[in-house]
């Protein structure tokens, strides 16, 4: 039993990070990792040369199957589908062993906007990109995991990498840098301004923190009322927030939270989050400003914010 627990503790952060990035759901990722490891422990490990690669292969295949089976559900989803945010204080997981205890996992970008971006890749592109870029597997490993040729994996990775750079040139899994610190400070300034605006109902001072073409995406999952279509443009976003404040929807007051390793905001009612706001920043000559606001309202995706 002690050996099994040691194996689980060693590989769990990597497997969870892989599944969470691929699925955009912490709940599904946790279920898959537990199931994969339970199945693995029933195998004869004598013929398995690389335990980490074998577990990653099992997890990747389970994720690909899950994405295939959920394709119709996502196509029929009411409004915008957004990933499940993960509060930092919940990242200790069951038993407190931590989702990101592996230094490589802390290095790998798990920011919320990065998760949104990954969901725009095809499932195979996502698998190869995460396995190569974030976890660091070689093309030979990928070919074995996915039953592809190395040349095919290289081509798919290059295609995925190009899509990521085109959609968000600043998206990176690099270690923290001065640019990351500048973005964090910009997020904090926006959060300060948003808290004042939500209290007063005056969102004009907030506009200087937004790009003119800022986009707001809201995910209610058909379970709560929210904007079904993206809200694009600084004026429309301002009007949207002012309309919500006028209806008294923000009267409980937002709180600062840290989610996916970044500053964010959460609105609580009766001890449970009802809205979580995540930000995507874009570097401008005068500093970073908000490119996208992600408003998660689907209660199924906020259970960890109790």
Residues in the chain: 306
248: left (phi over 0), alpha (psi -120 to 50) or beta: left
- Provide the pLDDT for residue 178: 56
**161 and 209 both lie in a single domain:** no
CATH code for position 113: 1.20.140.160
Q: Are residues 155 and 31 in the same domain?
A: yes
Q: CB of 106 within 8 A of CB of 75?
A: no
The tens digit of pLDDT for each residue in 170-202 reads 544 444 455 577 888 899 999 999 999 998 889
Please give the tally of structural domains in the chain: 2
Q: What is the pLDDT of residues 139-175, one digit of tens each?
A: 999 999 999 999 999 999 999 999 998 886 554 444 4
Q: What is the pLDDT of residues 237-293, one digit of tens each?
A: 999 999 999 888 888 889 999 999 899 999 999 889 999 999 999 887 778 899 999
Between CA 27 and CA 293 the distance in angstroms is 23
| pTM summary value | 0.88
pLDDT for 172 equals: 43
Structural domain that includes position 241: 178-305
CA 26 – CA 17 distance, rounded (Å): 9
Domain-located, residue 173: no
Q: Same domain, yes or no, for 8 and 71?
A: yes
54 shares its domain with 93: yes
Q: Are residues 25 and 84 in the same domain?
A: yes
- Angstrom CA distances, 128 to 42, 140, 161, stand at 27, 12, 10
Mean residue pLDDT across the chain: 87
200 and 221 co-located in one domain? yes
- Last-in-domain residue among 108, 143, 167: 167
């Amino acid at each position: 039993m002690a050996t099994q627990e040691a194996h689980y503790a060693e590989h769990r952060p990597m497997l969870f990070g892989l599944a969470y990035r691929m699925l955009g759901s912490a709940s599904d990722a946790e279920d898959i990792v537990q199931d994969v490891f339970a199945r693995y422990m029933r195998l004869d490990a004598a013929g398995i040369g690389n335990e980490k690669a074998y577990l990653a292969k099992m997890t990747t295949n389970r994720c690909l199957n899950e994405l295939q089976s959920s394709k119709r559900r996502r196509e029929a989803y009411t409004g915008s589908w957004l990933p499940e945010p993960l509060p930092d204080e919940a990242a200790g997981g069951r038993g407190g062993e931590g989702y990101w205890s592996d230094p490589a996992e802390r290095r790998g970008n798990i920011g919320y906007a990065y998760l949104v971006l990954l969901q725009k890749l095809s499932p195979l592109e996502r698998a190869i990109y995460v396995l190569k870029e974030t976890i660091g597997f070689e093309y030979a490993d990928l070919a074995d995991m996915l039953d592809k040729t190395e040349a095919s994996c290289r081509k798919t990775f290059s295609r995925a990498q190009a899509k990521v750079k085109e959609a968000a040139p600043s998206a990176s899994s690099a270690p923290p840098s001065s640019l990351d610190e500048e973005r964090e400070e910009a997020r904090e300034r926006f959060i300060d301004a948003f808290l004042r605006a939500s209290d007063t109902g005056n969102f004009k001072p907030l506009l200087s923190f937004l790009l003119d073409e800022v986009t707001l995406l809201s995910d209610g999952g058909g379970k709560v009322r929210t904007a079904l279509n993206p809200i694009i443009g600084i004026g429309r976003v301002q009007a949207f927030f002012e309309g919500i404040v006028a209806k008294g929807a923000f009267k409980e007051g937002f709180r600062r939270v840290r989610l996916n390793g970044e500053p964010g905001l959460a609105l609580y009612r009766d001890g449970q989050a009802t809205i979580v706001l995540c930000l995507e920043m874009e570097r401008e000559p005068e500093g970073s400003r908000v490119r996208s606001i992600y408003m998660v309202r689907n209660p199924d995706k906020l259970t960890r914010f109790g």
